[in-house]
Each structure stands twice: as structure tokens, then as C-alpha cells.
Amino acid sequence: MMDAHLDALARRVGEHLQARHWRLATAESCTGGWVAQVVTAIAGSSAWFDGGFVTYSNEAKQRLLGVPSITLARHGAVSEATTAAMVRGTLERCGTELALSISGIAGPGGGSPTKPVGTVCFGWGKAGEAPRTATCHFKGDRESVRRQAVIHALETLLAHYP
């Protein structure tokens, strides 16, 4: 799971956060905690990584992060509305400066015509600001989709919060 690219990216994220005295928390669904695993592979990450939630089911998203049931009913788990709610819940529960969230369809099944396999929604948030969201469509098998999602989440975090 960890390779030189992910290691270097996690180190960049850590240096970036430490330089600003910021801490990160995560809320992950389709990546199953992969972002948390990548960042905690870095020695000393406890200085800038607070913790993470793996909220794979809708019930866990509601119970652990406070995602409103109406959001899930109207937009689905794989939606920018849901990842924004996941970010808000993570920031509230962890008290960190930054949070990111991921929810998607990694495959091989579970896709639909409107949300095909490889559809991944993201959220990023800074305390006191509205969350930012995006949707990407990745190609490849389950592991490839998940890996691309981890990379995108961390690279975009660096870009959004310079």
C-alpha cells in the first residue's frame, strides 16, 4: 500500500501542516482509512495528525459524523453534499484546523449510470470556513481507484490551504 510516491506526499503534507501549526483529521469511506494509514506511517505525525474516522456505512456517517439523514436520502453517500457534511462533522468532533473527507465507488460493483465505478467525492475544510468539495472519476481496479483518491485528497489539501 505504501510506496515512495505516497511516502513523499505524506511527508510534504506533514511539513506543510507543521510549518503552520495545523492539525489534520480525516473522514474516509471508500478508502477505508488509507489516508490515515499513509500519514501515520510518517514518524512524528502525531504532531500534525489528530485522527480519522472510517465511516463506511450511511449509519456510521450519521452516528459518528452527524451527517444528516436528509442529505444521504437526497444526494446519496457518494455526493459532494455528503463529503461537505463529513468535513463539518470531523472538524466539530476533532477540533482540528483542517479536515478532509472521501466517499466513492471503488468497484468492482456498486456503480450506476449516474455514478459509475470510479466516482469519488471529496471534501476539505478549514475551521471557520465553508468546506470545499469536488468529484473525480478515476479509472482502474478497486485498489487503483482508492490509491488515486488518497493522492488526490492529499495533493488538493496542499493546493487549497497554502
- Per residue in 115-152, pLDDT (tens digit) is 999 999 999 999 999 999 999 999 999 999 999 999 99
Closest to 60 measured CA to CA, from 36, 89, 25: 89
Q: How confident is the model at residue 60 (pLDDT cuts 50, 70, 90)?
A: very high
Contact (CB, 8 A) for 100 and 87: yes
Q: Is the pLDDT of residue 2 over 90?
A: no
Can you give the pTM of this predicted structure?
A: 0.97
Neighbour-count burial of 74, counting CB atoms closer than 10 A to its CB (0-12 exposed, 13-18 middle, 19+ buried):
exposed
CATH entry, 4-160, from 3.90.950.20, 3.40.50.300, 1.10.1040.10, 3.40.120.10:
3.90.950.20
Mean pLDDT of 39-54: 97
Q: What is the pLDDT of residues 84-116, one digit of tens each?
A: 999 999 999 999 999 999 999 999 999 999 999
What SS3 class is residue 162?
coil
Instruction: Tell me what the pLDDT averaged over the chain comes to.
Output: 97
What is the reported pLDDT for 84?
98
The residue ranges of every structural domain in the chain are: 4-160
Whether the per-residue pLDDT at 1 is higher than 90: the answer is no
